[in-house]
Structure 1
Amino acid sequence: MQGNGRLSRLVKGLPLGSSWIGGVARYVLDRRNMDGGYAFCQGLESNVQDTYYGLAILDLLGVPPPNIEETVGWLRGFKEYDLYSSYYVAKALRICGEEPDVEGLRGFIGSLPIVHGEFRVEDVYVEAASELHPVYMVVELAGLAGVELDRERLIGWLLRFKNRDGGFGIHRYSNLNATYHAVASLDRLGFPVGSLRETLSFVRACERPSGGYTATPRSYGVYMEHVYYGVSLLELMGEDPGFPEETAEFIHGCRNSNGGFARSSLGISTFEDTFYAVSTLEKMGRL
């Protein structure tokens, strides 16, 4: 059961800046369900991934979530069954100012082979954004739960996926998705990612003067997730985007009339792509 216009009225009078920002807030608030969760499309049941992204978008915009106690209750009642649901529940609760079930998280993390450096590429989940996405999630969850990892072993294992072109990926195939998840994991593990100069060159090779980033240097299509990964990688390495104005134009070209952002100019709005868009604009100082 979806929310209603009363929620969108919550953004009126708030210092949201330009009108497109208010449109984004309304897009999210109008997709809050009565149970406290969120779904990117009106009429769908709440799901934990969209609830996290919806809360994260509102947090970036400085808009307080309505009836946050209902959202916290929905998150507390959600039965985590895998790495992804555990990750999104924990992250969403933190945005709400609540702590996740730390003891439960510790037990879950301790049961994962990748915590002990035993991760295998065939263990990658179908839903993964890249082959190294699960590792990134575990590293971040471990930080939230205060679980000590074998940092040196994990760092050494991750660096094995660094290819000759500086990018990361399995089977010697570098891509921006895996490169982001590898570098972000290394950064959280305390590795000086600014020293990865070949990786920086790989990211620059994926950067397009017309705006945005591609999955590989030889790819043509620019999509929202690659823009987010590219700008985020540069931020991790202490660098700035080479074409910020053009990249901002690409992002705004993916904004739909409902206020949300899509993966490309011809796509439908999703919470995930809207988060990528708003987060990237924030990183570039364009909120």
Structure 2
Amino acid sequence: MPIKMGSSKMFETPNSRDIVKYVMSKQGIDGGYLSYQYMGIFESSVEDTYYALITLKLLGVNPPDISKTIDFLKKAQSTDGSYSSLRVAYFAIKALTTFHEKPKDVNGSISYFKNSLKLMLNKEYDSFQQLVKFERKNYITKGIEENVLKSVDLYNLYIIEIPTLLCNIHMVTSALNLLGYQLSELERENIIRLVLKFKNEDGGFGLNASYIDETFHALSILMDLKGSLNDLNLKDTIKWIYDCENYSGGFKVKPDIPYSYSLEYTYYGLQIMNLLDIEPLFPKAHVNFIYSCYNPNGGFRRSVNLGISTLEDTFYAVSSLARLNVVL
């Protein structure tokens, strides 16, 4: 059923049948999934496989050929216990544990994540500041954010090509928790102290400036290591995330940006609110924003005005709708 959004534009209401059909169409012959799959001939992506599996689970659908998919995910681990990248390792563990499965070498996985963490923490905070030469605010001015980003997605350069320290640490702490491994008290204290150094005066987290994705990763790390955020003074963080919330729907990457551009910011915003145990002020507007990113093929695009469907954006959309208690 079409819904009306602000102006005269009409958008189709998403339905679970078409979303499931879209997701399943991206499964390859290896059992995994890929957003740009064609007739099952391309090698699947571990990350896309995670997005697909979680989306289907949220919709109450059993994934097809799940044994083949689990085998694909387990093969992401090398014989020595390592992985091709931290990101691959993280999404493989997340996907496997969602279906109560373990990697083929659990101890190898734990060692891989511990070694990755050791490499990160061996770099002092001040040294890390020197290493990150592509901080968003250094090359994207407010004018660009307000104008160019309406048609050009510059943020992908940062998010995809330059993983941040907070993002990487979050992947490690989350995966180790899922594998049932607890860091020592000293290790936890050191990480918590490091993460809190990224908290800015406005209440958000990030290097030099606060961003919604960095704030999500920081709070997730603290939750992974502490089990609760109640003993932290996060009143300014609560104010900050409410300042990111758009009354017209969606969330901004940071408060001083006047528009919301993409589904992932809405996902991060709602996840942050969940971590802080608060509720959004404009839930109906968020639902409408998400609906406006729906494509006729059953998937979701990154933003309202442009973009093809991807499994990642479909995951962000379905997860956010579930957080908003929307039944598809």
TM > 0.5: yes
Unmatched 5+ residue regions in structure 2?
A: 1-12, 78-82, 133-157
The match for 2:216 is 180
**Aligned pair count?**
269
The Cα offsets for residues 78-130 of structure 1, whole Å up to 9 and x where unpaired, read as 24212111111111112233112311112112212448843553389954565
Mapping 1:68-79, distance limit 5 Å: 68-79=66-77
The match for 1:166 is 203
Which of 1 and 2 has higher RCO (CA within 8 Å, sep 6+)? 2
The match for 2:325 is 285
The match for 1:31 is 26
Q: Given residue 273 of structure 1, which amino acid in structure 2 is its aligned partner?
A: D
The match for 2:101 is 98
The match for 2:294 is 255
Residue 67 (str. 1) matches residue 70 (str. 2): no
The Cα offsets for residues 41-63 of structure 1, whole Å up to 9 and x where unpaired, read as 23143111111111111111110
Q: Given residue 88 of structure 1, which amino acid in structure 2 is its aligned partner?
A: F
Mapping 1:1-287, distance limit 5 Å: 20-43=15-38, 44-79=42-77, 80-100=83-103, 101-114=105-118, 117-119=121-123, 121=128, 122=131, 127=161, 130-149=164-183, 150-171=187-208, 173-190=209-226, 192-194=228-230, 195-222=233-260, 223-265=262-304, 266-287=306-327
Q: TM-score, normalised by structure 1?
A: 0.87
Shift in Å at residue 30 of structure 1? 1.1
Two-structure CA RMSD over aligned residues (Å): 2.1
C-alpha separation between the residues in 2 aligned to 1:126 and 1:258? 25
- More off after superposition, 221-230 vs 247-256: 221-230
C-alpha separation between the residues in 1 aligned to 2:299 and 2:205? 31
Shift in Å at residue 138 of structure 1? 0.6
Shift in Å at residue 239 of structure 1? 0.5
Unmatched 5+ residue regions in structure 1?
A: 1-17
Shift in Å at residue 131 of structure 1? 4.4
The match for 1:12 is none
Identity percentage over the alignment? 37
Q: TM-score, normalised by structure 2?
A: 0.77
C-alpha separation between the residues in 1 aligned to 2:326 and 2:52? 20
Give the conservation status (yes or no) of the 8 Å contact 2:263–2:317: yes
Indicate how the Cα distance of structure 1 residues 256 and 237 shifts in structure 2: closer, same or farther if over 3 A, else same.
Answer: same
